[in-house]
Structure 1
Amino acid sequence: MAENKEEDVNLGANKYRETQPLGTAAQTDKDYKEPPPAPLFEPGELSSWSFYRAGIAEFMATFLFLYITILTVMGLKRSDSLCSSVGVQGVAWAFGGMIFALVYCTAGISGGHINPAVTFGLFLARKLSLTRAVFYIVMQCLGAICGAGVVKGFMVGPYERLGGGANVVNPGYTKGDGLGAEIIGTFVLVYTVFSATDAKRSARDSHVPILAPLPIGFAVFLVHLATIPITGTGINPARSLGAAIIFNKDQAWDDHWIFWVGPFIGAALAAVYHQIIIRAIPFKSSRS
């Protein structure tokens, strides 16, 4: 057990002890410590149980995320359902609330990405290796497909009739509108992830308790309020892919590229902005 504990501390995305997950209490003495950049390739991960455990956590989190959120979207569209009264706000709360809960549950295991765009942004910032980033994205996509598949398995008829939660650019908006909404929405999300999990901020603002899942979930909620009318809100390529594959209709694939290109551009911009602008802010320890 001791060896596994030490392995979890030294390898992968979670650089802190499991009792102090990233973004909640990263340092015990509140002094700022810059985490070292993750190597591009980390061969030791492939023989580490913590590596595969993190992938399983990402799979299960994305599976549960798709299951709850697609059911909520379908309930909104079903006129004879009690859930039809929840409105856009209810759908936004479902997405944001699930992200809050799932990031809270998985932050100490995998970092709580649950989104290929988040993984991509953190990879660009050297927060995790390419090996781990690719593995996370694959597991997230598989989890999303399985989550959407379970929903369809429970209710094939309503699933087909109500669109299966697939993301499309809604009538009245152009593909450019949809792409812009996905870029900006993902920028807001990934920028929030960087800010909420920044070790420098944890030390500088030590008098402010920081619970990373809360601002991240709230960012997802706000982005959904703004962009559901435009694209149904993707900002998560795995979520869009899972729904598109299981629904498997032409309309789900017509604009599907937007829900990969937009989030990845948004994540890249957030990573660049955070590394160049925010990380350049001078640090002054609360103890000085």
Structure 2
Amino acid sequence: MPPIHRQLVDRVAIGRYEDEVTHPTAIKTFIAEFISALIFVFAGQGSGMAFSKLTDGGAATPAGLVAAAIAHGLGLFVAVAVSANISGGHVNPAVTFGAFVGGNITLLRGIFYIVAQLLGSVVACLLLFFSTGGLTTTGFSLTAGVSVWNAFVFEIVMTFGLVYTVYATAIDPKKGDIGTIAPLAIGLIVGANILAGGAFTGASMNPAVAFGPAVVSWDWANHWIYWAGPLIGGGLAGAIYELVFISRTHEPL
């Protein structure tokens, strides 16, 4: 058996531009990721804005945290379900990166997935800004007493759990019938992680979710945490699951 690092390197592929970017099937996957990210961010961000308006700024309360968990869980469930058969239902640059590390998507297609997800998030936040009469989209920030390194570790761990769940229920070729509940499982782990980490970091787990509000509100405070943490957590989950639990009997991608 080749060394572990060699197993991963052998599975990573750049891809051909004609097949991975300009082919009609590839373009459909990018559109699906754009729409799914838009649906998810619109629901998640919109719920926070609505709850804050209805409770006069009470989004940062236990009830607001539960509402955010439910809205994001349900929104992601739908976003993954509607794009699963087209693009795989990533909806998240960290998921895409984790899939790339495990050799389940090429570099070229992964880059365009991420671009589509980011654009979907920005458009969702712009739509919320205009349709609510100019209310500010809720950016991600650290709670008082939480250091950047505390938040960094939180985002790594939460995203690890999310991408591990994606691998187990959606990517693993041995998933069998459990694949039918993948969108539900993915939505539930996000909702659970928001309940666990939302009061500390906002529980992004998704660079696109943090990117849209940052662009529209132009608030980039500690924004690197919401990229570095999820990408590291997603990459670790992809590498570990691929190496430990998936037995590849075919040639690398």
Instruction: Give the TM-score of the pair, scaled to structure 1.
Output: 0.76
Query: Equivalent residue for 1:174?
Result: 147
Map 1:141-152 onto structure 2 (within 5 A). 141-152=118-129
Equivalent pairs counted in the alignment come to 235
Runs of 4 or more consecutive aligned structure 1 residues displaced over 3 Å after TM superposition:
36-39, 83-86
Partner of 1:30: none
> How far is the alpha carbon of 1:80 from its aligned partner?
4.1
Alignment counterpart, residue 15 of structure 2, candidates 41, 56, 64: 41
The structure that has the greater radius of gyration is 1
Does the alignment pair 1:230 with 2:230?
Answer: no
Q: Secondary structure at the match of 1:212?
A: helix
In structure 1, how many angstroms separate the alpha carbons of the residues matched to 2:237 and 2:174?
Answer: 17
Distance in 2 of aligned mates of 1:55 and 1:231: 29
Cα distance in 2 for residues equivalent to 1:114 and 1:178? 22
CA apart distance, 1:66: 1.4
Q: 1:125 aligns with which of 99, 102, 107?
A: 102
Cα distance in 2, alignment partners of residues 260 and 97 from structure 1: 23
| 2:130 partner letter | G
Q: CA deviation at 1:101?
A: 0.8
1:193-208 superposed matches below 5 A: 193-197=166-170, 198-202=172-176
Gap change, CA 1:209 and 1:111, over 3 Å in 2: closer
TM-aligned CA distance change 1:209 to 1:127, over 3 Å: closer
Residue in structure 2 matching 1:57, options 25, 32, 35? 32
Which residue is equivalent to 1:21?
none
Residues 80-120 of structure 1 show CA distances to partners (whole Å, capped at 9, x for unaligned) of 46x96953112101101111111111000010000000000
Structure 2: where are the runs of 5+ without partners?
1-9, 249-253
Instruction: Give the match's secondary structure for 1:200.
Output: coil
Superposed displacement of residue 55, structure 1: 0.3
Report the alpha carbon displacement of residue 228 of structure 1 after superposing the two structures with TM. 0.7
| Alpha-carbon spacing, 1:256–1:196, altered in 2? closer, same or farther (3 Å) | same
8 A Cα contact 2:12 2:101, kept in partner: no
Mapped partners of 1:178, 1:237: distance in 2: 14
Aligned to 2:182: 212
Report the alpha carbon displacement of residue 271 of structure 1 after superposing the two structures with TM: 1.1
**Quick one: distance in 2 between partners of 1:108 and 1:259?**
28
Per-residue CA deviation, residues 29-85 of structure 1 (Å, 9 max, x unaligned), is xxxxxxx9574213323342110011011111111211111111112323546x969
Structure 1 residue 261 displacement after superposition: 0.3
Name the amino acid aligned to 1:151.
L
% same residue: 32
One-letter amino acid of the structure 2 residue matched with residue 145 of structure 1: V
Q: Distance in 1 between matches of 2:93 and 2:234?
A: 9
* Other-structure match for 2:44: 69
CA RMSD of aligned residues (A): 2.3
Give, in angstroms, the shift of residue 241 of structure 1. Answer: 0.5
| Residues 174 and 275 (structure 1), Cα distance of their counterparts in 2 relative to 1, 3 Å cut | same
**AA paired with 2:190?**
V
Is 1:101 paired with 2:78?
yes
Gaps of 5+ in 1: 1-35, 282-288
Note if 1:115 corresponds to 2:115: no
Distance, in Å, in 2 between the alignment partners of 1:229 and 1:46 is: 39
Corresponding letter in the other structure for 2:27: Y
Aligned counterparts, 1:272-283, within 5 A: 272-279=239-246
Look up the match of 2:131: 154
Deviations 1:227-267 (A, max 9, x none): 1101111110011010101011xxx3120000000000001
For the residue of structure 1 that corresponds to 2:21, the secondary structure is: helix
State the alpha-carbon separation in 2 of the partners of residues 173 and 140 from structure 1.
28
Question: 1:1-26 CA deviation, whole Å, 9 max, x = no partner?
Answer: xxxxxxxxxxxxxxxxxxxxxxxxxx
Residues 1:269 and 1:89: Cα distance change in structure 2 (over 3 Å):
same
User: CA 1:38–1:48 in structure 2 vs 1: closer, same or farther (change >3 Å)?
Assistant: farther
